[in-house]
Amino acid sequence: MPDVLNKQELSMLREEMEMLMRERASLLKVVGAAAVLVANTDARDLPPEAAEAAEMLSTLVNELPEESLQEALESVHAGSALEDIS
C-alpha cells in the first residue's frame, strides 16, 4: 500500500510540476512582452494615467534579475531588446 501511495504522490507531484512549468513559460512571455513594450514606449506620448502605469511597469521590469529578464525576452524572441531597457 505505501508503494501505491508513493506512486500516486509522485504522479501528482509530476503533474503539479508540469503545470507550474507551463505557468512559468506563460508568465515569461507576459514579462517579455511587457519589457519590449516598455523599451519601445515614450512616456511623453502617453496620457497621464497611462504614463503612470507605464512608469510602474518599467520600474517592475527593471527590478527583475537580469537572468530572468533575459529569459523573458528570449521567450518572445526579443533577446537583443535588453540593452534598450533602462
Report how far apart, in Å, the C-alpha atoms of 5 and of each of 2, 12, 58, 67, 82 are.
5, 10, 47, 38, 47
Q: Total structural domains in the chain?
A: 1
Integer Cα distance of 15 and 18 in angstroms: 5
pLDDT per residue rounded down to tens, the chain (86 residues):
567 779 899 999 999 999 999 999 999 999 999 999 999 998 889 999 999 999 999 999 999 999 999 999 999 998 655 554 44
Q: CB–CB of 78/29 below 8 Å?
A: no
Residue 64's domain comprises 2-84
45: helix, strand or coil: helix
Nearest to 62 by CA among 35, 29, 23: 35
